[in-house]
Amino acid sequence: MKIISYNVNGIRAAIKKGFLDWLTAASPDVICIQETKAHKEQLDLTLFEEAGYPYHYWFSAQKKGYSSVAILCKQKPNHIEYGTGIESMDFEGRNLRVDFDEVSIMSLYLPSGTNLGRLNFKLNYMDEFQEYINNLKEEIPNLVVCGDYNICHEEIDIHNPKMKGVSGFLPEERTWIGDFIYSGFVDSFRHLNKDVQQFSWWSYRANARANNKGWRLDYAMVSQPLEDKISRAYILPEAKHSDHCPIAVELDI
């Protein structure tokens, strides 16, 4: 099973940049999309079906043009879970899950902490999400939680490790993602690429992408019962429909 995760920074803008042709060529079994910035009634859904994804699910923020996640599938899931049931998290459309026989896959868009108010929201979200996942793993042990975590875990994951005072690389954020992994997950990319420095997000400023001054903010976290099933995990920087690029994990299931 090939799973891709991609923060598209606006699905309508990404489509104009060739996203659907790229999707057809990449041909994942499941693609988790973050920051669609759209409600499904604003989209021509037949475009996704024509690209080979007859099963598509959308969980949007109450505010139009903001946040929102989606999952596109080639095969029909057994169940779709919209949100977490936690109101303080769900109004921004940040979590969507599809359940198959052998694995459940979540598209996650963790908040950024660009100012103090949003940082506090992010930290609270992180705490609530960890508790939610702890409970979910009891019910569904085979989980892949992929998406934009808006956090670099280690110094190798950021082009300038001196940026310790910036949200996304704050000590408390790095501790949280380390604890999240310790709670029963495998960072699939780092699991198979111990010393490789690759990024999944670049600022639009200062020609950052051309100079590869990036951050690895996107992860496919695989629950420990599936660790031995991870066959490949990689980043796709050649896809340029967004300020992020896609990441992928392949599981032998």
Sole residue written with tokens 């960072």: 187
The full DSSP string for 125-145 is HHHHHHHHHHHHHHH--SEEE
Both tokens of 188, joined, read 């699939």
Q: At what angle do helices 116-139 and 171-182 cross, to 10 degrees?
A: 0
Instruction: For residue 104, list its beta bridge partners.
Output: 99, 143
Q: How far is CA 29 from CA 9, 55, 125, 231, in A?
A: 21, 11, 29, 15
Active-site option among 44, 127, 148, 243: 148
Amino acid identity at 150: N
* Distance between CA atoms of residues 33 and 13, nearest Å: 13
| Spatial contact of 3 and 253, defined as CB atoms under 8 Å apart | no
> Is 148 assigned a catalytic role?
yes
| CA 239, chain centre distance (Å) | 15
| Spatial contact of 241 and 22, defined as CB atoms under 8 Å apart | yes
* Distance between CA atoms of residues 119 and 26, nearest Å: 35
| Spatial contact of 148 and 109, defined as CB atoms under 8 Å apart | yes
| Spatial contact of 222 and 190, defined as CB atoms under 8 Å apart | no
Known catalytic residues? 148
